[in-house]
Amino acid sequence: MLDDSEDIHPLFSGAPATTEFKKLRKRIVRNVREAIDQYGMVNRRNTEVDPARWLVCLSGGKDSYTLLAVLYELKWRGLLPVDILACNLDQGQPGFPATVLPEFLKRMQVPHRIEYQDTYSVVVDKVPEGRTYCALCSRLRRGNLYRIAREEGCSAVVLGHHREDILETFFMNLFHGGRLATMPPKLVNEQGDLFVFRPLAHVAEADCDRFARAMNYPIIPCDLCGSQDGLQRQQVKAILDGWEKNSPGRRQVMFRALMNARPSHLLDPELFDFAGLACQPEQFEEKPPNITGTC
């Protein structure tokens, strides 16, 4: 690992030496590497000649700090042959500490770009009173990140969504959207020119929290939009928390189910040809025994 060498990257300077932290760090690195390999986020044939460049998005939350640190560790190990550009999009939320991330990234010697776009004022103006800001806010944020990625010559926008984000989105779509869908770990944007990656897809939220706090990263609170009560995601999160409390490990079981879909046992005729399904009784007709030789 990085701190086994004299050349310690600043992101890992002061990492706890406890066995517990080393196990946590190893687990997160393993989970991220699994996701990168399983979903083909790196085309290793092309990167040998022309390394890809990833725009790694930082919000200042525990998840994005964990994402950045683990990607740097994989890169240091030679397991991630890509160039990394960290990016923070300051959307003008009231109270956002605009100097925290630039100072942190400069101190950590991480190449970065800080972009200011006051999308918050647009959202407040356009969203009716009593409605949540999330949908429009995320759409504006996504458009700006795609623009920045193009300007910086990046092939992928990399986001810090973890396992719980993916599960919560699945149940939000199930309960409120009437569809079975969630955040995929890898997709192509609507314009078809950029990938979107979520390398933390297999990582538990609690692990991100423990890691970022143990490293003493300057976490920015996620309640800058006024902590709107009654958000659908908060309600779903409370349900999942209750299930996990009553049956520890249930989150992981549900997450594994998302990796084990069986279209023939669902109800979508676009995914499975129910109309063309036919019986083939001849496969089960008894055949006379094939007797050879003599008594």
* β-bridge mates for residue 156, sequence order: 54, 195
Please compute, for residue 276, the number of CA atoms within 13 A of its CA located in the half-sphere on the CB side: 6
Residue 1 pLDDT > 60, yes or no? no
pLDDT given for residue 229 in this prediction: 47
Q: For residue 228, what is the DSSP state?
A: -
Q: Does any domain span residue 187?
A: yes
Residue with tokens 């009716």: 128
Q: What is the pTM of this model?
A: 0.88
Which helix (H) or strand (E) covers residue 112, if one does?
Answer: strand 112-116
Residue 286 pLDDT > 90, yes or no? no
pLDDT given for residue 3 in this prediction: 54
Residue with tokens 């992981």: 252
The residue segments making up the domain with residue 56 are: 2-227
Helix axes 163-172, 205-214, angle to 10 degrees: 140
Q: Does any domain span residue 236?
A: no
pLDDT given for residue 295 in this prediction: 46
Q: What CA–CA distances, in Å, run from 277 to 156, 269, 286? A: 40, 11, 23
Q: Does any domain span residue 259?
A: no
pLDDT given for residue 199 in this prediction: 98
Answer for the pair 280, 188: CB distance below 8 angstroms, yes or no.
Answer: no
Here the CATH number for the domain that contains residue 96 is 3.40.50.620
Band of pLDDT at residue 93, cut at 50, 70 and 90: confident
Q: Does any domain span residue 275?
A: no
Domain count, the chain: 1
Distance between first and last Cα of the chain:
72
Backbone angles phi, psi at 113, to 5 degrees: -135, 130
Dihedral of alpha carbons 228, 233, 237, 239, sign: positive
Which helix (H) or strand (E) covers residue 88, if one does?
Answer: strand 82-90
Q: Does any domain span residue 113?
A: yes
In angstroms, the CA 232 to CA 229 distance is 9
Number of other residues whose CB lies within 10 A of the CB of residue 163: 24
Q: For residue 174, what is the DSSP state?
A: I
Q: For residue 158, what is the DSSP state?
A: E
* Top-confidence residue, 133 or 278: 278
Band of pLDDT at residue 120, cut at 50, 70 and 90: confident
pLDDT in tens, 173-229: 999 999 999 999 999 999 999 999 999 999 999 999 999 999 999 999 876 554 454
Q: Does any domain span residue 288?
A: no
* Top-confidence residue, 281 or 275: 275
pLDDT given for residue 233 in this prediction: 84
Considering only 83-92, 110-119, 126-135, which range has the smallest mean pLDDT? 126-135
Rounded to an integer, the average pLDDT of 267-284 is 87
Considering only 3-12, 134-143, 246-255, which range has the smallest mean pLDDT? 3-12
pLDDT in tens, 9-43: 888 888 999 999 999 999 999 999 999 999 999 98
Q: Does any domain span residue 295?
A: no
User: Which residues lie below 8 Å from residue 79, measured CB to CB, with a gap of 6+?
Assistant: 33
In angstroms, the CA 116 to CA 110 distance is 19
In angstroms, the CA 149 to CA 54 distance is 8
pLDDT given for residue 180 in this prediction: 95
Q: Does any domain span residue 244?
A: no
